């Protein structure tokens, strides 16, 4: 993990002091609501339906156990004893008091954490694959590049008042998109060419009101020029992005309006000026960053499929089932990555309590070198677990309720906090997620169905990533009543793709029966070993549409 230097710490402390003073001036009436707004947003603070919401940054999803205990302490001390893992790998608190936020930020700063630029019209937290650094398929570890981008983006003076929010994701896996770079404002794909690291840079992807996938702007940007290229894109966006209408202000609208060709031309003109200038990365800096993400002290004698694992798989059906859904292959022989699902029925997707934070921190210390990762699917990963300790870890997770063997299955639902918490929402998400989980509670049936991504957003802003769910559910408001629009065929797996609308929206109590009918059609029509999404792609939307609206005839 990146280890803070003195200047990183000093910067954080100065930020806390700055925000403490800004909060004081706001409460004294020296700053208007409008003036305080971007200042608090760039410290992660929203004013929500019932209380402020504080979004804490988890840079590219990496956490250590000390930080996790602090997150638990904050939930206990200043919130109602729980927090929420967001789809951008951050941690959200739903009930802090504004007056306490400077103290919360000071507490976070002690463990090298913050809420910088987790909201507002600036460059947000950079995200990547939750298996970064341990994924055998990646060309190299993307995290050093994420940290390089994080530092460039943090308090970048030119890009603090952009037309709209700006999200960057980095992917190092060829032919798959675990970081969803196709639907980010900028997507960075790490590639190797002739032994040198470089980047294919996409711009103009995004979800929200007008979902679309990004266009390749930079075909191959050599590693030295990563920041120059990003800065060139940001400069074009800052100058020409729409500022009159917030719904047309994301970079995707600009790229679409200009066309990729023209956007590239403008970017290249800015890039020509920056290239080889002082912003150019040095080999020393890249080496230093790579040094921060060196391997933990793996046991070199550990081997794959040790006897202890084979025996446990044979003796416990429940462990076996969990192993096949929640355990991920690892680059290092003898090790595995384990996903803790925060998706047990009855738990709001992604929610975690103060005592659970502490318990997971203990497990990270015991089984995974004290490190863990948050995922955009709102789960938690212990990245470096010895295979001969998987059974013991599973037993501990069973007790905590984090061993639900539903990873990537229909009930591993991604959902935003929705109308229960969020003032932007048109409809509730959590009760819909729970109703679906209750209907599909039979584990045998769920495993028989295989991987299905079901994502729920309470409004157009798409925090629940509904556009890229194989099944997407969007809350809409119709004359003051909550309705749900369903999309099919979105993808956020091998590739990022926007789903297609099924048709008119449904009332809340129709959602579960409709999902059940769609799933039934899949079961009737699937070929051997065919996944839901593959059957959908083979048949097209029409038969699903017909089945979904069958009861309306």
Residues whose CB falls within 8 Å of the CB of residue 551, separated by 6 or more in sequence, listed in order? 513
For 89, 186, 392, 460, the CA distances from 51, given in Å and listed in that order, are: 22, 32, 40, 22
Span from 146-154, 467-475, 491-499, 524-532 in contact with other proteins (CB under 8 A):
146-154
For the range 543-552, what are the long-range contacts, defined as Cβ-Cβ under 8 Å and sequence gap of 24 or more?
544/488, 544/502, 544/518, 545/502, 545/503, 547/517, 547/518, 547/520, 547/521, 548/486, 548/502, 548/503, 548/514, 548/517, 548/518, 549/503, 549/504, 550/517, 551/513
Query: Considering the complex, what minimum distance in angstroms separates the CB of residue 160 from other proteins?
Result: 6
Phi and psi at residue 405, to the nearest 5°: -85, 60
Of positions 24, 192, 193, 239, contacts other proteins by CB under 8 A: 239
Pairwise CA distance, residues 290 & 288, whole Å: 5
DSSP state for residue 526 in the 8-state scheme: P
3-state SS assignment for residue 538: helix
DSSP letter for 341, please.
P
How do the residues of the chain divide into helix, strand and coil, expressed in percent and rounded to 5?
45, 20, 40
- Among 165, 235, 376, 386, the residue binding other proteins under the rule CB under 8 A is 235
CB of 159 to other proteins, least distance (A): 7
Select from 100, 156, 210, 316 the one that contacts other proteins (CB under 8 A).
156
Q: Is 139 in the site for other proteins (CB under 8 A)?
A: no
Q: Is residue 157 within the footprint of other proteins (CB under 8 A)?
A: yes
- For residues 100 and 242, which CB has a smaller minimum distance to other proteins in the complex? 242
| Of 171-179, 276-284, 345-353, 452-460: span binding other proteins (CB under 8 A) | 276-284
- For 415, the token pair is 């959902």
Distance in angstroms (rounded) separating the CA atoms of residues 192 and 40:
40
Q: Which one of residues 2, 82, 93, 159 is an interface residue with other proteins (CB under 8 A)?
A: 159
The distance of closest approach from Cβ of residue 28 to other proteins in the complex, given in angstroms and rounded to an integer, is 12
Residues shown for the chain = 553
CB of 59 to other proteins, least distance (A): 13
Spatial separation of the C-alpha atoms in residues 248 and 260, rounded to whole Å: 17
- Residue choice 238, 316, 332, 345 for contact with other proteins (CB under 8 A): 238
Nearest-approach distance from CB 45 to other proteins, in angstroms: 15
Query: Which range of residues in 279-287, 346-354, 472-480, 533-541 is near other proteins by CB under 8 A?
Result: 279-287
| Closer residue to other proteins, CB minimum distance, 139 or 160 | 160
Applying the rule CB under 8 A, the residues between 208 and 227 that interact with other proteins are 227
CA distances from 192 to 136, 275, 279, 293, 467 (A): 15, 20, 22, 19, 31
Place of tokens 């462990």: 319
Q: With CA atoms as reference, report the closest residue to 346 among 438, 442, 472.
A: 438
Closer Cβ to other proteins, 284 or 509, answer by number = 284
Contact flag: residue 160 with other proteins (CB under 8 A): yes
Which residue has tokens 């794959």?
Answer: 304
Q: Which is nearer to other proteins, 288 or 517 (CB)?
A: 288
Give the shortest CB-403-to-other proteins separation in angstroms.
Answer: 41
The nearer residue to other proteins, 158 or 546, going by C-beta atoms, is 158
Task: Count interface residues toward other proteins (CB under 8 A).
Answer: 38
Contact residue for other proteins among 65, 154, 326, 426 (CB under 8 A): 154
Q: How far is the CB of 487 from other proteins (least distance, A)?
A: 33
Q: What angle do CA 466, 55, 27 make, to 5 degrees?
A: 130
Sole binder of other proteins in the list 29, 195, 278, 300 (CB under 8 A): 278
User: In the set 97, 158, 477, 546, which binds other proteins (CB under 8 A)?
Assistant: 158
What is the footprint of other proteins within residues 6-25 (CB under 8 A)?
7, 10-11, 14-15, 18, 22
Helix residue ranges, H only, 259-331:
260-274, 283-292, 307-315, 317-326
Smallest distance from other proteins to CB 363, Å: 34
Among 33, 284, 444, 542, binds other proteins (CB under 8 A): 284
Instruction: Please name the residue that has the structure tokens 């905590």.
Output: 400
Q: Of 151 and 316, which CB lies nearer to other proteins in the complex structure?
A: 151
User: What is the C-alpha separation between 3 and 291, in angstroms, rounded?
Assistant: 10
57 binds other proteins (CB under 8 A): no
Site string (391-430) toward other proteins, x via CB under 8 A:
----------------------------------------
Write b or e for each residue in 322-340: b if 16 or more Cβ atoms lie within 10 A of its Cβ, otherwise e: bbebbbbebbbebbbbbbb
Binding of other proteins by 273 (CB under 8 A): yes
287-346 residues near other proteins, rule: CB under 8 A: 288
Residue 131: HSE in the Cβ half-sphere, 13 Å Cα cutoff: 23
The residues that touch other proteins, with contacts defined as CB under 8 A, are: 7, 10-11, 14-15, 18, 22, 31, 35, 38-39, 121, 151-152, 154-163, 227, 235, 238-239, 243, 273, 277-279, 281-282, 284-285, 288
């Amino acid at each position: 993990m990146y280890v803070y230097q003195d200047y990183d710490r000093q910067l954080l402390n100065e930020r806390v002091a700055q925000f403490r003073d800004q909060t004081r001036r706001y409460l004294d009436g020296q700053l208007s609501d409008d003036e305080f707004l971007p200042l608090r947003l760039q410290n992660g603070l929203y004013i929500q339906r019932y209380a402020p919401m504080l979004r804490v940054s988890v840079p590219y999803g990496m956490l250590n156990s000390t930080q996790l205990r602090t997150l638990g302490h904050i939930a206990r001390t200043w919130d109602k004893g729980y927090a929420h893992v967001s789809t951008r790998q951050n941690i959200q608190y739903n009930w802090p008091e504004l007056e306490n936020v400077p103290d919360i930020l000071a507490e976070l700063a002690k463990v090298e954490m913050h809420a910088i630029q987790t909201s507002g019209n600036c460059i947000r937290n950079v995200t990547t694959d939750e298996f970064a650094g341990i994924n055998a398929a990646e060309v190299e570890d993307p995290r050093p590049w994420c940290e390089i981008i994080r530092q460039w983006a943090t308090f970048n003076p030119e890009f603090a008042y952009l037309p709209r929010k700006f999200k960057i994701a980095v992917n190092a896996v060829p032919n798959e998109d675990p970081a969803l770079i196709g639907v980010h404002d900028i997507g960075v794909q790490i590639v190797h060419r002739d032994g040198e690291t470089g980047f294919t840079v996409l711009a103009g992807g995004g979800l929200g009101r007008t979902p679309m996938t990004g266009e390749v702007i930079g075909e191959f940007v050599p590693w030295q020029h990563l920041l120059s290229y990003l800065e060139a894109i940001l400069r074009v966006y800052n100058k020409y992005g729409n500022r009159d209408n917030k719904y047309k202000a994301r970079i995707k609208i600009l790229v679409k309006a200009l066309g990729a060709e023209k956007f590239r031309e403008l970017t290249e003109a800015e890039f020509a000026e920056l290239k080889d200038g002082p912003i150019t990365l040095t080999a020393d800096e890249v080496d230093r960053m790579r040094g921060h993400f060196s391997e933990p002290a793996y046991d070199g004698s550990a081997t794959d499929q040790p006897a202890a694992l084979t025996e446990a798989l044979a003796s416990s059906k429940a462990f076996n089932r969990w192993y096949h859904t929640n355990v991920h292959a690892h680059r290092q022989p003898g090790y595995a990555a384990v996903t803790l699902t925060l998706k047990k029925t009855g738990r709001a997707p992604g929610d975690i309590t103060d005592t659970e934070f502490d318990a997971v921190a203990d497990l990270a210390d015991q089984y995974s070198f004290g490190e863990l990762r948050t995922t955009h699917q709102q789960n938690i990963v212990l990245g470096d677990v010895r295979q001969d300790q998987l059974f013991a870890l599973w037993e501990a997770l069973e007790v905590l309720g984090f061993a639900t063997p539903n990873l990537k299955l229909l009930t591993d639902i991604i959902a935003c906090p929705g109308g229960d918490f969020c003032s932007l929402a048109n409809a509730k998400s959590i009760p819909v997620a729970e109703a679906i989980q209750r209907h599909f509670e039979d584990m045998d049936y769920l495993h028989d169905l295989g991987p299905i991504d079901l994502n729920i957003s309470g409004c157009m802003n798409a925090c629940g990533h509904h556009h890229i769910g194989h099944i997407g559910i969007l809350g809409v408001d119709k004359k003051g009543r909550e309705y749900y629009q369903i999309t099919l065929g979105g993808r956020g797996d091998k590739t990022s793709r926007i789903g297609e609308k099924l048709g008119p929206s449904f009332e809340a109590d129709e959602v579960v029966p409709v999902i059940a009918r769609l799933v039934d059609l899949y079961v009737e029509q699937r070929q051997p070993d065919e996944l839901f999404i593959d059957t959908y792609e083979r048949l097209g939307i029409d038969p699903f549409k017909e089945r979904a609206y069958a009861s309306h005839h």
